[in-house]
Structures are given as C-alpha cells and as structure tokens.
A and B are shown apart, each in its own frame.
Chain A
Amino acid sequence: MAPPSSFGDKVFKWLTLAMALAVVALVFLVGWQLARGSSLAIRRFGFHFLATSTWDPVAEQFGALPFIYGTAVSSLIALIIAVPLSIATAVYLTELAPPWIRQPIISLIEMLAAIPSVILGLWGIFVMIPWLRDHPFPFLKKIFGWTPFFREPIYGVSMLAGGIIIAVMILPIITSVSREILRSVPNLQREAAYALGATRWEVTRIAVLSYAKKGLFGAVILGLGRALGETMAVTMVIGNTPQIRASLFAPGYTLASVIANEFTEATTDLYLQALFEIGLVLFGITILANLLAQLLLKTLGSTIKSGAVQ
C-alpha cells in the first residue's frame, strides 16, 4: 500500500489538474455557446460578416467590420496613451520617487481603478468631451490637420475620446502590475549598474527595464485584454456610429458597445444571432491577442531562456 503522503500527493495532483481543465473547459464552453447562438448568422453571412461594413437591422444586413475596426483602433489609442504613462509612473514610483510621495500616488491610482465604469462614462460626457472639444482637439487639428487622422469636423464624441477613456480605465492595472514587476527586480542588478558609474536613468534602463521587459510586456497585454472588452464608458463617449473613418475625430463603434446597446432591441432572430456573432468575434480577438502575446514572449524570451540553466 502506498504511504499516506504519496496518496495525498496524488489527490493534490488530480485535484489541481481537474481545476486547470475546468478553466480550459469553461473557455471552450463559452466559445461553443457563442458559436451555437450565432449559427444562423454564420451560415447566412459566412466570411462576409467579418468583411462588410453595412449594419442595417431593418434590411437584415449585418457586417461586423466597423465594430472590429472600432475595437482595434480605440484599444490601440488607449495603449498608445496608457502604456508610456503607466510604465513611466511605475518607474517613477519604484526607482525615483521619494518615499513620502509614493503612498499618496499609489492610493490615487487605486482609487481611479475603483471608479465604476458608468461614472467614468458620465464624467467623460460632461467634463472630458466638452474640454477635449474646446482645447486639445482644435490644437491637434491645427498641428496634425494635414494627416488624414485629424482632419474631419470635431463633434466631441469620437474614436479618439473613446480611446482616451479606455486609456484612463486601463492605466491603473498596467501601472500596478508594472510596479510589482519592477519591484521584483533584484537590488543586486541595480547595484551592478551603479557600480559601473551609471546614473539613475542609466540604471533604470540597463538594469531595471531590460531585466523586467518580459514582465512589463505581460502587464501591457493584461491592459490590452481590458481595453478590448471595455464597454460602458466607451459606449458613452465613442459616438456609436458604425463607420470606418480615418479621422479619429469621427464617431465610431466597438464590438462590446454594439452588443450592450442593441441587445434589448434585437427583435428578429437573425439580428440577435448577429449580435451573438459579434460576441464570438470579440471573444476570438481577445483569445487571439493573448495567444499572439504568448508567442511573442516565447520568441522574446528564448534568447534568455536558452542560457538560464547552468
């Protein structure tokens, strides 16, 4: 008979395996349900669903392209704004800030994370958008008006406003995860750089950021996951117009927003199925983004990993 400890090990092993499988099963289940819920639409539109831009429930014409575009662009804008800000904040907090200033900043960022999405959306409508419309947008137009991205008339609600509000929403998570990652860089690494006569910035660059870059990339991907699925606040400021425009001042629409907005009014079967398919697409994009990120991490890390074992 096996001694009790080995029996315990076995139970533990199977239990953890079961848990892990349950998570995987859950993901597949969600995917399968979404696919089943949209089977009619999938059969009806096929690949065209992803490639056409008409969203006309009355004529029962459904194309997801503007929403895919809207989700991609608004998330991209959010990342472009939030990633440098968050990582810079995290670097400041771990490497540069005097101790007394750290806690207040950290608390503030945590508070930002605690604001409900809908409240942030209200703030977006009543404070952010009027301000954007009056000051930064005209300024951007004046400077970059020659590019297609900042050309059209300014309404306020826009792809850019959507991206900015998502940036606000993902900033806390990227910052706090990055901060943890930077804190986990061994002090010995910093000392190695200091001993070579590196300045603080050089220490941060050669000893801290390069050591932490994989982890920081993970933090960004976490932020991207949030950005893709962010719904409420974006819906309130992006303009909810299914169109593909180069101009970031033009209103847009995201996958998540269209589901939230139109689910209750989807009166026909096909309409509901189309919305389900939108959900499936969003689900697919999120998973794809994560897989790609992991692949990227692998190739990024392989140069280091190959030598990690002595």
Chain B
Amino acid sequence: MESAAIIDPPMITPVSLPQQQVTSDSGSADVAPERPHAFAVERLSIFYGEKKAIEDVTLTIPSKMITAIIGPSGCGKSTLLRSLNRMHELVPNTRIEGKVLFAGKDIYAPEVDPVVIRRRIGMVFQKSNPFPTMSIAENVLVGLKLNGVRDRAFLRERLEQSLRMAALWDEVKDDLHKPGISLSGGQQQRLCIARAVAVEPEVLLMDEPASALDPIATAKIEELIHELSSNYTVVIVTHNMQQAGRCSDYTAFLYLGRLIEFASTTKIFTNPSERQTEDYITGRFG
C-alpha cells in the first residue's frame, strides 16, 4: 500500500534533507535521514500538575520505521508516547512546554483539534481493550463507522484487510459475529491492532503491546509490528530490551524524564555513546 501523500513533502523539516547528515540538533544527529520524519519533538517538557514527567526532550522520529522507547519504569516512556497523539491530555492538569511537529505541523497549536490528530495517529495499549458489547467485526469497524463510512462492500473489504494485517483473519474469519472478548488475550491484542489500523492512521503508537502476553503471542505481535512498519510509522514503548533489539530500527533511551540517547538500534545495543545507556543495556541498573 503506497501512501506517499500521507506526509506532506513540503512540510518535512530541514533536518531530514539528505545532504544534512549531521545537524546541531543532538537528538536527531544519529538518525540516518534518508527518510522523512514523522515527528519532530522539540524541547518538549510535560507536567502532571507540578510534577515534571518529561524534561526538555528533543528527537525526530523517522517515517515508516519502528522506533522503540526504552528506559526504567517511571522514566516517562508512556508519557512521551502519549504526548505524540495528545492522549496524555485525558489526565486532568497536564501541561506541556515545547513542540511536537507531526508532518511539519505543531499538533499543540491552538487551532488543532486533538480528535483529528488521534484519527491520524492510532494507539494500541498495554492491556487489550476491545469493546465488550461489540462483535469482532464491529470492534474492527467501529472507527470507520465513527467516520461516517456506511458502504457495506467497503466495510467488508476493510474488515478482512485489517484483520489480515493484524494476522488474525485466519483465526477468526468464521467467528466474525462472536463477541470481541471471546478471543484469547493475544488474539484480543491483535484485534485491537486491527481496530487501530482499520482507520488507516499514519502512525501507530504502541505502549508495551506485548507485555501481558506469553512468548508465543509476543512473537506473533513482534512479527506483526515488523510487517506493519512497511506501511506505518510505529513507535513502541517496551520494557523488554530484547524486544527493542529485535524489532526496532531506532531506539530512544529515557531516564528520569530525560532523553539520554537516541540512535539506530544497532548503535544503541552495540556501541552506545552514553555511559548510562550502556549501563542500562547491560542490565547494570533499571
């Protein structure tokens, strides 16, 4: 599926131009910029009331690749991830400083409607959360129906396509009218992925999508994430270092709300620039 129009070429930030291999922007210096950036996070700080959860983070997230966010518990991974589609705003009394540019536009600009942002930037959660009163099919199609899509044939087609994309079609194709919550935990999580991709977002944010699953289900999800990255920009939070190593192209290491290092996953795991990164990767803390 070709979706070149999704990220508006004129809006690409200068840092992503091919000539500029290295910029003064430390957060993006390591990113091989042959691809356009999906996100440019600029000096972002996030507060829960008085508490600063993210402090002065700058990084650029490449388009149609998998970027992992790792770090010890409570370091702000979820907060950073959720700030990318303004989900963190659902918690009362949050405040941000800095900018998050998506396709070149600040998603926190006053005229931007978070609802529109979330339509373009989907999310999968740690715990699977299908809608319990809806069937498998309804769960997948609920986003499209919200958008006013009524064309039966189209819905039918998108249903199969989304479930195939989530590697769930073969398991559920005869049970599409069974309740979504009748599936196993791993299947439910893939159903949630199908639900997220059905609205054709440009980005998928995933917050520890496999942490509640057994190794086999986890492997399935990882494989799936890998396949998804040919069509989507994927940002994944994970506790599991092997997982980050296995299935991401870039890795951001957060510690105490600060971005310690952001580079290609290979570099982070074999030759990190920062001492703290190395300590964390080798399991000396966290």
Contacts and interface: CB of A to CB of B under 8 A. Distances in A.
A307 B87 CA distance: 30
B179 A304 contact: yes
B182 A307 contact: yes
A304 B122 contact: no
B132 interface: yes
Contacts of A199: 115
Given A188-B127, A304-B132, A196 B122 contact: yes
A198 B105 CA distance: 21
Interface in A180-239: 186-199, 202, 206-207, 210-211, 213
Interface string A290-310: 000000000000011011101
A310 B115 contact: no
A207 B134 CA distance: 10
Given A99-B92, A211-B133, A195 B122 contact: yes
Contacts of B119: 196-197
Contact of B143 (A188, A197, A304): A197
Contacts of A188: 125, 127, 129
A305 to B, nearest CB: 9
B118 interface: yes
Contacts, number: 88
Interface residues on B, range: 35 or more
B131 A189 contact: yes
Question: DSSP majority for the A interface?
Answer: helix
B73 to A, nearest CB: 19
Contact of B129 (A189, A306, A307): A189
A202 B143 CA distance: 10
A203 B53 CA distance: 27
A207 B146 CA distance: 12
Interface stretch (B44-52, B191-199, B259-267): B191-199
B74 to A, nearest CB: 19
B92 A307 contact: no
B179 A197 contact: no
B129 A191 contact: yes
Given A196-B118, A207-B131, A307 B90 contact: no
